[in-house]
């Protein structure tokens, strides 16, 4: 169910359901996370890969539900593997990748339609473009915005409580 499907409300409902589920998992991560042993994580990854292969969307989502908090709280081999520099950096730029991947893939596919090079461009050029643009987006937009928000938060936190207008009675 693609969020871009304009003829149905179900993809939007799915997005809100997944967001809500993510919020619940974040609040209750300790319940699932303590079972995050490497063997359990590898088993869930196998389930997810099987679901991806057979295009079983619910299997993939069902596997992701416990996998994410397990991996977030894992301190074993999986933590060491995912902490390797390039993989860690992919995690850092993952939001930028998420935002730009579909437009890039669609444009590469549109431009290469009918070409004998289409599969190579789809599977070769698209990932390279996505990562390059995501790095630029992260460095030029996401990181500066995060720093600005952090600075504004600190500035507001330092203001004396008497300077706040909320709840103050105006002088007569």
Hey, where are the domains in the chain?
1-83, 84-159
Helix or strand or coil: residue 93?
coil
Helix axes 57-73, 10-27, angle to 10 degrees: 20
Query: What was the pLDDT predicted at 160?
Result: 63
pLDDT in tens, 45-80: 999 999 999 988 888 888 888 888 888 788 889 888
18 CB neighbour count, 10 Å cutoff: 13
Q: Comparing C-alpha atoms, which of 50, 61, 58, 57 is closest to residue 19?
A: 61
Query: What was the pLDDT predicted at 165?
Result: 52
The phi and psi torsions of 124 (rounded to 5 degrees) equal -110, -55
Distance of alpha carbon 139 from alpha carbon 98, whole angstroms? 15
pLDDT in tens, 8-47: 777 777 778 777 877 787 777 777 766 678 988 999 999 9
pTM of the model: 0.65
Query: What was the pLDDT predicted at 119?
Result: 93
Give residue 1's pLDDT band: very low, low, confident or very high (50, 70, 90). Answer: very low
pLDDT in tens, 138-163: 999 999 999 999 999 888 887 666 55
The helix (H) or strand (E) run that includes residue 96 is: helix 94-112
Distance of alpha carbon 54 from alpha carbon 74, whole angstroms? 28
Query: What was the pLDDT predicted at 56?
Result: 86
pLDDT in tens, 92-126: 999 999 999 999 999 999 999 999 999 999 999 99
Q: Tell me the C-alpha to C-alpha distance, in Å, between residue 142 and each of 5, 100, 149, 165.
A: 28, 13, 11, 31
């Amino acid at each position: 169910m693609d969020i871009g499907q304009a003829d149905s409300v179900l993809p939007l409902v799915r997005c809100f359901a997944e967001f809500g589920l993510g919020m619940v998992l974040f609040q209750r991560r300790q319940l699932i996370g303590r079972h995050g042993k490497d063997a359990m994580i590898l088993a869930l990854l196998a389930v997810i890969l099987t679901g991806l292969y057979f295009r079983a969307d619910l299997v993939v989502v069902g596997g992701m539900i416990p996998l994410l908090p397990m991996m977030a709280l894992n301190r074993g081999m999986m933590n060491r593997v995912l902490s390797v520099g390039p993989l860690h950096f992919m995690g850092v730029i993952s939001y930028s990748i998420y935002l730009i991947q579909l437009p890039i893939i669609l444009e590469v596919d549109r431009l290469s339609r009918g070409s004998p090079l289409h599969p190579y461009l789809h599977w070769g050029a698209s990932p390279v473009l996505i990562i390059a643009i995501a790095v630029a987006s992260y460095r030029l937009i996401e990181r500066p915005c995060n720093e600005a928000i952090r600075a504004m938060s600190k500035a507001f936190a330092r203001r004396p409580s008497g300077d706040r207008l909320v709840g103050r009675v105006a002088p007569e």
